[in-house]
Amino acid sequence: MRVLIWWAWRVALVVVAAPLLLALLYNVVQPVSTLMLWRQAMLEPVTRIWVPIENISPALIRSVLASEDARFCAHNGVDFVELQNAMDDSDDGEPSRGASTITMQLAKNLFLWPGRSFIRKGLEFPLALYLNAVMSKRRQIEIYLNLAEWGPTGEFGAEAGAQRAFGSGVSRLSARQAALLAVMLPNPYKRDAGKPGPGLNRLAGNLVARLPREGPELTACLGLGS
């Protein structure tokens, strides 16, 4: 029994320490997501071409931030304002809306598994807070844009998504193309930026229309121009 307990502690220590050490390492190396690793293990295709953030269209960065996490530059990895709003909506009987930040999604992509579960969501919180403490906002969004799933057949990252949808690189996206890519992120299996239906076109149009008014500026927190 003592031997089993000793080994259990060692396994637990590795499980806890691995993401803490990897988060530091990912400041200087190009990471892969757990979903990418799973697809490769299942011998399913994976396409990802890493693009530095300075070569990614500012229109896409603005669109993804406005669509996915408008308070990205203000929160510490977990947006407690949006979390409280989501809880209030639930209490009032309103449809539940997501309060997952880009940092939380990044923690899921790097260290956890897809799908919905309270256990996974509970693990996202401390991991997101830690990621935000050891990684700059600029690096977070750079990794996120190069890890997000952007197609139904193993397209990961903005470059693969742009090539699949428009046949062009992510540095040359128009505002509309960037918006289409941003609004397909919640469901890349049913939403296709290259062949948008009326619903996707409407979402993209609304996103483009509100960017000058509500879209977060590419401020000093990202080290980019506007």
Burial track 15-41 (b if 16+ CB lie within 10 A, e otherwise): eeeebeeebeebeeeebbbebbeebee
Q: How far is CA 98 from CA 52, 87, 105, 186, 199, in A?
A: 28, 10, 11, 11, 19
Q: Is 157 part of any domain?
A: yes
Q: Over pLDDT 90: what percentage of the chain?
A: 65
How many whole angstroms from its chain centre is CA 225?
21
Query: For residue 152, is pLDDT > 50?
Result: yes
Determine contact, residues 184/190, Cβ cutoff 8 Å: no
Question: Residue 206's domain is classified under what CATH number?
Answer: 1.10.3810.10
Model pLDDT, residue 95: 37
Q: What is the pLDDT of residues 59-117, one digit of tens each?
A: 999 999 999 998 999 899 998 887 766 554 444 444 344 578 999 999 999 999 877 77
Q: Is residue 103 part of a domain?
A: yes
Give me the number of domains the chain comprises.
1
What pLDDT, on a 0 to 100 scale, did the predictor assign at position 91? 40
Tens of pLDDT along 184-211? Answer: 999 999 999 999 999 999 999 999 998 8
In-domain check, residue 164: yes
What is the secondary structure of 59-125 as a DSSP string?
HHHHHHHHHH-TTTTTSSSS-HHHHHHHHHHHHTTPPP-----HHHHHHHHHHS-SS--HHHHHHHH
Residue 159 to residue 165: CA distance in whole angstroms: 10
Higher pLDDT pick, 156 / 8:
156
Residue 166 neighbours by CB under 8 Å, 6+ apart: 173, 177, 193, 194
Q: Does residue 2 sit within a domain?
A: no
For residue 6, the SS3 value is helix
Tell me, yes or no, whether 120 lies in a domain: yes
Structural domain including 132 reads 12-214
pTM (2 d.p.): 0.88
